[in-house]
Each structure stands twice: as C-alpha cells, then as structure tokens.
Structure 1
Amino acid sequence: MPRGQRRSRRHAGQTASNGLYIGRFTIPLKLVFYISGHGYGHAVRDIEIIKSLVKIHAEAEIHFRTRAPQWLFAPLLGKRIFYHERELDFGVVQKNSFSADKKATFQRYAALVDQKENLIDRELAFLHSVQPDIILSDITPFAFDAAEAYGKKAVAIGNFSWDWIYTPYLDKFPDYAWVVEDIRSSYVKADRLWRIPFYGDMSAFPSIEDVPLVGRKAQLPAQVVRERLGMAQKGAQKYVLLGLRMSDLAGVEWRGIEKMPLTFVAVSRDIRITNCLHVEEASLPFEDVLHACDAVLSKPGYSIVAEVLVNRTPIVYIPRSDFVEDAYLTAGLAHYAVCEELSQPNFYAGNWRGAFERLFAKPPVWQEIRHDGAEVIAANILRHVN
C-alpha cells in the first residue's frame, strides 16, 4: 500500500466505564517499537503495553527494535510479533547499578551520533519495508529522526529522557554539550509523549499527555508461589528477594548478613550464604516471586518501584549515584510505599539488619496509585491510528 494512503479500520467493541476502548479490531495494525537497551526496565514495561494491546487487537503486527535481551521478549514472539536486535540507544555505561561511567557514556553516544546518518538510513529502509501505522519509542532518540524521515512522527513513552539524564554529567565533561543538544533535537520531532509517573524534566517534547503507572502484577497467589519454591507460609519467617545483579553484590561483606534472622531469595547460586533460598531464574515470573516475598532489596529503578507499588511488597532500597531520576523514584516510594533506605556504605559493609528491622516495624500502609497504564496506552495506540 502506498505510504500516506489511509486504510479503513473496522472494529467491534464498547467503551468501558473508565473510558478505555474494549473490543477487537479486524484490520491488521502494524507497529514498530524502539526500546532503550539500558537495563530491563524499559523493555519490561513496554512488553506489558504490547500484552495489553494484543488483548484488544489480536491481529496487531509488532516489531521490537532494541538491544534489550531477546529472552525478555521470547514469550510474546510469534508469527506476528518480531524481535530485531539494534543498538540505537544504550542508555548509560555502568560497572554496576549504583554509578555511571560518565565519560564512557558520552564517548559511546558520540560514536553513535557519528554514525547517525547511516543508522537513520537503515531504519528508514526498515520502516519502508514494514509500513507501520504507528511508531513508538521508549525513549530512543534516533527513532524520532527515522520516523520523521519516513513521514510519520513517533510517539514517546517514558518517565525520563536521556538529555535530562546526561545534563548533570556536563559539569565534569562540558565538551559534550553538543551530544545533549543532538538528543534534544531528536526528541522535539516527536508527535507527543505519553508520560508515566515519577518523571523529571521532559520539556524537550512538544506535547505531553500523562498516563498511569505501568508495572507487572503477580498472577499467582502468594501461597501457591511459596509452596512451589519450598518457602514457609506467611508468618514469623521473613523472606527477602535480592533484586540485584551479581555485579551489584560484588564487594558485599556477607558475614553479618548470614547472622540475620531472614531468608534471602536469589536466582544466582554464586551467593553462598546459609540463609539463602536459591530459585531457578525461569521457574516463575519475577513479579510472582516478588509478591510472595515479605520484602525486596534493590536499587530504586523504575521497574522495581512500579512492581513494588503494584504488588505491595515492602522495599529496602540502595540509592544510586549519577542518576538524577533517583530523587523522583525514591520520593514516589516514600509517598506510596512501605520502604526504607540503606546507604551504599552500609550495603557493602553488610550492615543490613537495622534497615530491615525498621522496615518490618512499619505499619503496612500503602497509598493508592492508579496502575493501569499499560491498558491506557494500548487504548491510546488504537485511538492514535484510528
């Protein structure tokens, strides 16, 4: 079909009381989704959006363009949902989850900008081959350049933008101001931004619409998960999920942690402490294990913050350096969640006991927050193309 020729769409459905369209479209929808390869958080929330979309548009054809690992997308992939490995947005260079290598981040992004023309040309060829009805980006800058070149402005999804993340790095590396400006010049080409909670300065986008929280919700009852994993039922024994990577745990002094009256739940068998329950990584979805535990220890990244709030699992969090969004995410936890901070020095020294004692002494009071963002964005997608 020639680009620019509008396809008519037949659909049958109704509008729910919350204003969301529910029903099934009968004409195929083609969507290209650019997703940052930084961590898992962007991919995890975008997968939830697509899962909600295919519930109301089973014939949707989806193309993911990302360097996020393919195994995250594997349960969705099939004859109409495709994964294409592409590095257009790596986010931040890190040795672990707590700090950034600012110079390496600028150098790596500058190298991408040097290839920008060729990269956009490749994406333009891909878009012509697919002929998408809508292009989404969370929150890859080059996606907006490619979409504009194709003749269809992309829609952004996110709670932060890379120009905002990188700007504080300029205090030490001012010669890379042009990199931040290049990112902003891409974002300004967006049609609009669907902004999720706990956001920072996203003024680079010309139009902003707020949407609710996007997060994975446990599907299995906590007692079922506990039985499957050999955990005692809820009671005096407390289970704490280690929501960290092995690189984050390197250098932790474990001797004091082994003496704590807690059982830690981990997917890595490299954690060799006596009070640790090891589970197979693919045995159950992360959100089900999170919901079954009494608490989680993690960095305050978007994904874990959203899932803590959706599943109401208390959290002890370790603040990060070099990530300006941390203040917004921890403020969200302080307002909505049962939480406690553990400083990085105490984290590495193994002085965890006090933080968990304070956490478990708190009343289980949670503030309500709307978390149907995946469904809202899915409905927005259909409205946008229709």
Structure 2
Amino acid sequence: MSRPHLFVDISAHGFGHLAQVAPVLNALTERLPALRLTIRSGLPTAKLQTRIAAAFTHLIGSSDFGYVMHDAVSLDLPATALAYRRQHADWPAQVERDARVIAGLRPDLVFSDVAYLPLAAAALVGIPSVAMCSLNWADLFAHFFAGESWAAEIHGQMLAAYHSVESFLRLTPGMGMPELRRLRSIAPVAALGNDCREALRRQVGCATGERLVLIAFGGVSKALPIADWPPLAGVRWLIPQDWQLEHPSVVSFEGLGRPFTDLLASVDAVITKPGYGTFAEAACNGTPVLYLRRSDWPEQDALLDWLNGHARCREVSEADLLDGCLHAALEALWRQPARPVPRPSGAEEAAAALLPWLAGRGA
C-alpha cells in the first residue's frame, strides 16, 4: 500500500506562514507517521527544519510573493501592483505549468498557506486542496487595488482559486473573509516553547534583575539604531544576527543556538509588528508584547483586537522606537496584570480536517 502524500505550499512572505503550518504538520504526522511530505517554499530548508519535525522533500521556490515591502511595516504598493500584473499576464499558462508539477508528484491532497496558484493548479488536475491562513491575498488585493481599472480580472482569478478548495481554514485571530466559500474558523495555531529563562540568562551573562527583551519583526528586516539609543539600565536586547551590531547591551539570538519559541517563552518581552506568528506565539506562551503598528495592513485590526484581549501588550510609536525611548512603555507593559494564556488547539483541528483525504476515507 502506498504512503499517503501531502503537497504543502508555504509562503515565504516573512516567517508567519511557516509558524502557522508547522504545528499542523507536526500534529498531522503524529497521527499519520507514514505520511510523505513534499513542501514547496522559498524559505531555506534549514529554516523549515527548525519548525517541522518530520522528514520532508523540499522544492525550493515561491508560488506567491505576498507584498513587496520597504521594511517590516511598510509596503511598496507600486512595485506590488507591477508584480501582480506580471504574474497574471498569462495566468492560464501559469496554472497549467503548476498543474503539471503537482500532477507529476501525485499527492493525495494539496495544502496551501496561502498561495492561490497551487489551489488553481490542483483544481485543474482534479486533486483536492485545503487552504489555511489568517488572511488571504484576494482580500488584501481588493483592499489596495480594487479601484484600479486592471484589477477586476486579477481579483476574479484569485477568488476562483480560493473558491476551488475543499475548505479554507480561517485561523483565530484572522480577517473576516466574507467573500470566501467553504470557510471554517478554527482556534489559534501556535508552537509552545520551553521555559529556559534561567539557562538563557546564564548563557548571555545577565546580571541579577536584568531583563531580556527580544526584538523580532517576523522575517522581514527592520533594523533599529540600537547603537544610538540612550542606555537603558537593566535591559539586554536580543536582536537578529543580520543587523551585524556589536554593542555591550545586545546579543544575537540566532547565535544562542536555541529554538525561537524557547527564546520567546523565556524573555521578559518581545518587540515586534502585528503579525500572526509572533502575536499568537507570544500570547500562547504568556510573553508581553510591545508592538509597532503597520501602515495600512488590513489584517492588523483583527490581530490587535485579539492580542489586547489575550495578552499583556502595548503600542509603541515609530519615533520612540527609533530613538530608543522605551523605558516608560516597557515599565507600563510589565505593570499590566498577567492574562490567562489562550490554548492553541487549532493545530489539532486543522490536522483533523486534513486527515480524511490522507487516511483514505474520502471527504
């Protein structure tokens, strides 16, 4: 009997899509150890392996681009519009090419977060598909470009692809997505980290009473001028390695050799942008969040409403963040009472939703 085969497409628009998919795949492979995984993503194989426990075949490539970004919180809309117009200039041919790839792999099911090209391709060759995300590219496209004369055909092609799925698993928190069919809302999906705070503080040489604050913008760069910040007594910053900053108050978190979720579960706060992965994981690990709003990002309000109801959190302005004026914001954040942590049961819900096609029982 052949092994069940799942084709997974994970967007490389930041790390949040991987943070959503990985717990689902881990839950699914626990239930179905014989599952064969083929994963297409523009993320590095090593990055995928930090989150996905099971063995998989990696097809390196991106079937979506999401949005062209100036940095983690600001969009390049003219470049994004051009990219969408180029992608859809010969849409039927693109779908046919992708359909040949998917048909050649012969998966039992296509699972996408949240590219629509593999969904259209799967429909063309009669392979069932399921999408999952807290957003979809069609709603975001309509938000920014619906008024453009060239946009209606592209939006229609996007919607048709999303409408072809057996189910769209809408994560909590997430956008409303009123235009999508076969929508099913599920609980939050988040990886839970191991609390290693004492070992972590010894590793970075924290003084007694010194706090650790993680700065992470979800895989899209936004370097901050920490070297120019005024000293903030009693705080050590964990920053991305690619900032290439040597400073007595900072430590590169990649160089610590610990899983990101373990770090997130062990620090005193995280500074980030509104994004599903970090917001959900911070809330479910009980970590306070200091966030910088994104400029005109439609998913943002749903994420912020949920975070404010489930975690200690506080907004910081870009001016204060760039100037390093963070003492008052952090102290106010730490004075907030702890909240009951949400239970991230969405991974089990999603795994159960995928299982029928892979266990051979039909939809």
TM-score by length of 2: 0.90
Extract unaligned runs of 5+ from structure 2. none
Q: Name the CA shift for 1:97/1:173 in 2 (closer, same or farther; >3 Å).
A: farther
2:49 to 46, 59, 74: 74
Task: Give the counterpart of 1:270 among 238, 244, 254.
Answer: 244
Structure-1 residue corresponding to 2:268:
294
8 Å CA contact 2:130, 2:169 repeated in 1: yes
1:330 is the counterpart of 2:301: no
Query: Using the alignment, how far apart are the partners of 1:72 and 1:205 within structure 2?
Result: 31
The aligned counterpart of 1:204 is 179
AA at the equivalent of 2:29: V
Q: Quick one: which of 268, 292, 296 aligns to 1:318?
A: 292
Work out the percentage of aligned pairs sharing the same amino acid.
Answer: 23
Matches within 5 A, 1:96-175: 96-170=71-145, 173=148, 175=150
Take 2:30 and 2:117, find their aligned partners in 1: how far apart are those partners?
29
Cα distance in structure 2, aligned partners of 1:286 and 1:82: 23
Superposed counterparts of 1:21-100, under 5 Å: 28-75=3-50, 81-100=56-75
1:16 matched residue in structure 2: none
The 1:303/1:38 distance shift into structure 2, 3 A limit, reads same
Query: How far apart are 1:361 and its partner, in Å?
Result: 1.7
Residue aligned with 1:248, SS: coil
CA gap of 1:242–1:167, structure 2 versus 1, over 3 A, is same
Once the 2 structures are TM-superposed, how far is the Cα of residue 42 of structure 1 from its aligned partner? 0.4
CA contact (8 A) 2:72 2:220 kept: no
Q: Secondary structure at 1:370's aligned position in 2? A: coil
1:255 partner letter: D
Moved over 6 A (4+): 76-79
Find the aligned partners of 1:33 and 1:79 in 2 and give their Cα distance. Answer: 13
Question: Shift in Å at residue 287 of structure 1?
Answer: 0.7
Q: How much does 1:384 deviate?
A: 4.0
CA pair 262-323 structure 1, distance change in 2 beyond 3 A? same
My pick for the range that moved more, 330-339 or 62-71, is: 62-71
Q: Are 1:345 and 2:345 counterparts?
A: no
Which stretch of the first structure deviates more once superposed, 309-318 or 277-286?
277-286
Q: Does 1:184 align with 2:159?
A: yes
Larger RCO (alpha carbons 8 Å, 6+ apart): 2
Instruction: Report the secondary structure of 2:111's partner residue.
Output: strand
TM-aligned CA distance change 1:319 to 1:372, over 3 Å? same
Q: Give unpaired runs (5+ residues) of structure 1.
A: 1-6, 8-26
- TM-score, normalised on structure 1? 0.85
How many residue pairs match? The answer is: 357
How many Å separate the matches in 2 of 1:260 and 1:163? 46
